[in-house]
Structure formats: C-alpha cells, structure tokens
Homo-oligomer: A and B are copies of this chain.
Amino acid sequence: MAHFIDIWVNCPDRETAGRIADACVSDRLAACANILAPITSRYRWKGAIETAKEVPLLLKTRAEHFNAVCKAVRKLHPYEVPAITATEITHADQAYADWLRSETKEPA
C-alpha cells in the first residue's frame, strides 16, 4: 500500500482550519480535510501554563506531501509554532486507498 498519513493541525478557529483545508484539497496536497469539534488545550508557553480554545484539522494524504503541507499551513496559520504532526495510516480499505491516491498529486 502506498504510504498514507493522517496530518493533525491545531488551529485557533474554524476559519483558519477552513482556509488550510481548502488550500490543501484544491492543490491536491490532501485528498480530504476534516474540521473537528472545538477542543480545550492546555500547554506550557514561555514558562506559563496556558489554556486555549482550538479547532483540530485532520488532513489525509501521501507521506511524501508532509513537508509541502507544513509549508502551506505556516502560510495560513497565525501561530509562531503551529502544532503540525502526523501518524501513519497502516491499514486502509483498498477502494479508499485507491481514492486517496487518485485525489493527491504525484510526488515531484
């Protein structure tokens, strides 16, 4: 199976998540984007523990596109250090895997 990943990006709001989703899907950097329900985040930033409302965005794509997606996210995300991580899709229904491949661009 080609190498697919789930890329998770925590966004400050739905609008930012929507802009990143549209940019990545229309550029075929991701086959699909899911904007999840809001979350409450706790994290340490410059010595203090902060609380923030965030919106998770999940992008499904080929592993080769991770860096290009990071670049696209950084262009549209207001944070100094946006949370962009990915986990490997180790199993996929065959028809869905074929669709993921057909809807993402070939690696350069």
Band of interface residues on A = 35 or more
Pick from B6, B93, B95, B99: contact of A87, CB below 8 A: B6
CB-CB contacts below 8 Å: A21-80 with B = 21-22, 25-26, 28, 31-44, 49, 54, 56, 60, 63, 66, 70, 73-74
Can you tell how many copies of this chain the complex includes?
A: 3
Within the assembled complex, what's the spacing in Å between the Cα atoms of A10 and B14?
19
Subset of 16 A-B contacts with CB under 8 Å: A6-B87, A14-B40, A25-B49, A31-B44, A35-B40, A36-B37, A36-B56, A60-B83, A74-B93, A83-B93, A84-B93, A84-B96, A86-B90, A86-B92, A87-B87, A87-B89
